[in-house]
Homo-oligomer: A and B are copies of this chain.
Amino acid sequence: MVEKRTPITVEEALKRVLANQKNGGMEYVDISAAYGRVLAKGLIADHDVPSFDRSPYDGFAIRSVDTEKAAADNPISFNVVGHIGAGSVFQQTLREKEAVRIMTGAAIPKGADAVIMLEDTETIDNDKINIKQQMKHHQNISFQGEDVKKGSLLVSKGKVINPGIIALLATFGYKQVPVSKKPVIGVLATGSELLEVDQELEEGKIRNSNAYMIMSQIERSGAVAKYYGQFSDQLNVCIAQMEKAMKDVDYIITTGGVSVGDFDLLPEIYDHFDARVLFNKIKMRPGSVTTVAQLNDQLLFGLSGNPSACYVGFELFVKPVIDRFICRDKVGMNKEKATLSTEFPKPNLFDRFIRGKYEFRGGQLVVAPSGKDKSNMVHSLADANCLINLPGRPNGYSLGEEVDIYLLDNHW
């Protein structure tokens, strides 16, 4: 039976997929496990930074009024009455012509209103210094709240947590960090030609590479992969596997079985479950047979068995759904403009997504395919750091033309 399919655009396909609004809610993880997760709540400063008036320098805390008459030819002598290390607090109140030795970051003692840097003073002995310059009221003091006011929003919800954000979380006492729950995505491979990775090659067969590739794409996108193995071309086995997976996971990806061939199973499986097919044909290459069906709040992604098409189908349609689930502030790959450093002379009849490699030349983004455009998926996928989008048009693309690229590396 050869099915009739109605192709839709990539934009329309994405729109239908993103109509699924499921998100996973929040969980708390220890700060030591928060790197790379998505912040599930805006990070609000619960105290001022600094949280007390402090010294920005190594030096002496003094009363500026005592330096009013200080000058190079009129040194004023101060009694050193204490020594404040970082973290310590000087308990007395400073009196006339008293100075306290103070470290960077330490709290300004009561009574003091200025800090003079160590190198601007003259040490007489352990208990005495001379000051030869006038100090102003509030000179060299970092005031409470000067960097961050209590209550301000420091990082908004949806940001991926990087080391700088970790520093903020620690500063504000987030031992437990609110992060978005990760979706669990089941992966099933179909195809009677597939061997498992550790099986010996046989004539007519190839090892299953798509499932492992997809699982690492899932991991890169911030979700959790669960492998259900490869299933054969027997309809009842497939259905049983699928039923099992549906109970455990948020979304399901199958690889293979979507072509319009004699042995392709997916349409029958969708029928069995009464899943609503959102689309089964997209006006693009590769991956034109990418199929997505919906069953309750689950999406069943039917990716092509062709490795490049499978890869592209994931990045274009599964990654945005993951981003949505984890409430990331950006949905889908980052898109940038780049200059083609190669030509595509042939007519470009479809919206194409070519495995590409971008690089910077003098600060300019330049891109070329990452391998032979032919079936040589092998190198092209391993070296790709972007997808080059060439929309369909009657002519080809010339060297130096500006095109859109979608970045594959983890550009949060």
Contact = CB atoms under 8 A, between A and B. Distances in A.
A155 B382 contact: yes
Contact of A362 (B35, B208, B337): B337
A66 interface: no
Interface stretch (A85-93, A267-275, A342-350): A85-93
A382 B89 contact: no
Contacts of A295: none
Given A87-B191, A194-B87, A402-B363, A168 B378 contact: yes
Contacts of A209: 166-168, 170-171
A28 interface: no
Contact of A167 (B107, B194, B210): B210
Interface string A254-273: 00000101110000000000
A216 B104 contact: no
Contact of A205 (B87, B203, B210): B87
Contacts of A376: 147-148
Nearest to A192: B87
A378 B409 contact: no
A36 B36 CA distance: 13
A192 B86 CA distance: 6
7 contacts: A83-B262, A86-B191, A87-B192, A89-B203, A166-B213, A167-B209, A167-B213
Contacts of A36: 219
A233 interface: yes
Which of A88, A105, A164 has the most C-beta atoms of chain B within 10 angstroms of its own C-beta?
Answer: A164
Contacts of A155: 382
A184 to B, nearest CB: 15
A375 interface: yes
Interface in A50-71: 50-52, 56, 58
A385 to B, nearest CB: 8
Contact of A197 (B105, B175, B203): B175
